A = this chain, B = another copy of it.
Amino acid sequence: MDTGTAYDRPQPSYRKELTEVGAGTPMGELLRRYWHPVGMSSTFDSTPSKVKALGEDLIAFRDGQGRPGLVYPRCAHRGTTLYYGKVEERGIRCCYHGWLYDVEGHCLEQPCEEGGGARRDRVRQPWYPVEERYGLVFAYLGPPAKKPVLPRYDCLEELAPGESVEADDSSIGSGGPQIVPCNWLQHWENVVDPFHVPVLHGSFSGPQFTAQMGIMPEVTFESTARGVKVISLRTLEDGKVHRRVTEVVIPTLRVVPDPLVQRFQKVESIGWTLPIDDTHYRIYTAGRVTERGALGKIRSRLGGRRWHELTEEEHRQFPGDYEAQTGQGPITFHSEEHLAASDKGIALLRRFLETQLKIVAEGGDPAAVAFDESGAYVRFDAGNYLVDAARAA
């Protein structure tokens, strides 16, 4: 009799508490204790634009005084979207009856009311605080009493002569388009999975990075105060060892050194794996560069062409991160997984997240939130390093 057939297999399920990001969900509330990038600085301008983060639709704009604003789309008056609003010196004005709001949602004018609205101070357009840094606009979507300081990251603060920081919103590292139709955690887990590199990016699809990255590494996984660290050692032909350190840092940071290993140095750029909603994510990146536009050149290419320039046939022949991760479905079914020893990074990451969920559920402050500047300076270990065999161990 046949064994192991697909007949009568259990209904698959996924771990909602690890994946779903909406307001009020466990992971949604954990993520809402941190700042997230929601656009480039240039996204916030005098034309209102649509932004979606953690399952929330929002409108981004920049008032005439240069202040970025992020507000709930539906006008507090009668619900018309502010997407059709006009940005003015003092804020954004709804097209329907002209109510004007500032970047903190205060209602400044109600032109159809007598005297411009005697009771307009009773109205507040729902808004979120934002801050600009590294060419990005970060928003805090969490409980006001718990708003932490927006962190600074050593790799973006400590610049060598000639270096500057630039930002990118094209989802570098997704292996595909700007908006990726699967759960954010599928991507984030991929960062602590060094073993897929020689298979997916090596033997399967030809060396997508460099020949050296195609070597099966010797790997150590470590839990950190802020997430998980992966150390991959590859012995090179000259006997030296390529020590590559990759990190994931709460809330969604991917701290991945240049996969092309153009230089041995501390990690060049960091990416935020922004959950758009439960089944879509995008990546905002900020990095040190010596010339403008250098960041985008990290993107993987096949024969010089980017993902969207390839045919479906080519995607099937040369699958990459996008195919592997969206190929797990909109939200992967954890009930069907068979994690192995090589998946230790993923196990550590899930354990780290479970711990943080528990802390928040019990009323505490999760890892790496800081309420003063001194605590908000983050130092990474990540980077590509060339070391002697003796020092690598």
The answer to the question of A327 belonging to the interface, with a C-beta cut-off of 8 Å to chain B, is yes
The answer to the question of A153 belonging to the interface, with a C-beta cut-off of 8 Å to chain B, is no
Which of B112, B128, B339 contacts A7, CB < 8 Å?
Answer: B128
Contact between B327 and A80, CB atoms less than 8 A apart? yes
Specify the chain B residue showing the minimal Cβ separation from A113. B340
Give, as a whole number of angstroms, the nearest-CB distance from A1 to chain B.
5
User: Cα distance A104–B3 when bound, in Å?
Assistant: 9
Q: With contacts A80-B324, A199-B112 known, is A123 near B338, CB below 8 A? A: yes
Give, as a whole number of angstroms, the nearest-CB distance from A36 to chain B.
13
Give, as a whole number of angstroms, the nearest-CB distance from A327 to chain B.
4
Contact between A78 and B128, CB atoms less than 8 A apart? no
Specify the chain B residue showing the minimal Cβ separation from A202. B98
Q: With contacts A84-B316, A95-B200, A333-B74 known, is A126 near B79, CB below 8 A? A: no
Which of B4, B71, B339 contacts A127, CB < 8 Å?
Answer: B4
| A interface, over-half SS | loop
Contact between A336 and B76, CB atoms less than 8 A apart? yes
The answer to the question of A160 belonging to the interface, with a C-beta cut-off of 8 Å to chain B, is no
Q: With contacts A83-B327, A129-B5, A324-B96 known, is A199 near B47, CB below 8 A? A: no
The answer to the question of A141 belonging to the interface, with a C-beta cut-off of 8 Å to chain B, is yes
Name the residue among A71, A74, A95, A324 with the largest chain B CB count within 10 angstroms. Answer: A95
Instruction: Kindly specify which of A142-150, A240-248, A352-360, A382-390 makes contact with the partner chain.
Output: A142-150
The answer to the question of A77 belonging to the interface, with a C-beta cut-off of 8 Å to chain B, is yes
Name the residue among A5, A95, A97, A144 with the largest chain B CB count within 10 angstroms. Answer: A5
Q: With contacts A8-B23, A196-B97, A340-B117 known, is A81 near B327, CB below 8 A? A: yes
The answer to the question of A6 belonging to the interface, with a C-beta cut-off of 8 Å to chain B, is yes
B contact residues around A315 at 8 Å (CB): 84
Q: With contacts A7-B32, A98-B199, A98-B203 known, is A77 near B340, CB below 8 A? A: yes
The answer to the question of A64 belonging to the interface, with a C-beta cut-off of 8 Å to chain B, is no
Contact between A199 and B4, CB atoms less than 8 A apart? no
B contact residues around A199 at 8 Å (CB): 95-98, 111-112
B contact residues around A343 at 8 Å (CB): 78
B contact residues around A144 at 8 Å (CB): 1-3, 5, 7
Give, as a whole number of angstroms, the nearest-CB distance from A49 to chain B.
10
B contact residues around A128 at 8 Å (CB): 5-7
Contact between A97 and B338, CB atoms less than 8 A apart? no
The answer to the question of A226 belonging to the interface, with a C-beta cut-off of 8 Å to chain B, is no
Q: Kindly supply a per-residue 1/0 record for chain A positions 310-325, scoring 1 wherever the CB is within 8 Å of any chain B CB and 0 otherwise.
A: 0000011001000111
B contact residues around A324 at 8 Å (CB): 80, 84, 95-96
B contact residues around A125 at 8 Å (CB): 4
Contact between A74 and B204, CB atoms less than 8 A apart? no
The answer to the question of A393 belonging to the interface, with a C-beta cut-off of 8 Å to chain B, is no
The answer to the question of A110 belonging to the interface, with a C-beta cut-off of 8 Å to chain B, is yes
B contact residues around A329 at 8 Å (CB): 74, 79, 81
B contact residues around A79 at 8 Å (CB): 327-329, 332-333, 336-337
Interface positions, chain A 101-137, Cβ under 8 Å from B, are 104-106, 110-114, 117, 119, 122-129
Specify the chain B residue showing the minimal Cβ separation from A204. B95
Give 6 nearest A-B pairs by CB, closest first.
A6-B126, A4-B124, A112-B195, A98-B199, A81-B327, A2-B144
> What are 16 sample pairs from A and B whose C-beta atoms fall under 8 A apart?
A5-B144, A6-B128, A7-B23, A7-B128, A12-B74, A77-B340, A80-B325, A95-B323, A95-B327, A96-B199, A96-B200, A97-B200, A98-B203, A112-B198, A113-B340, A123-B338
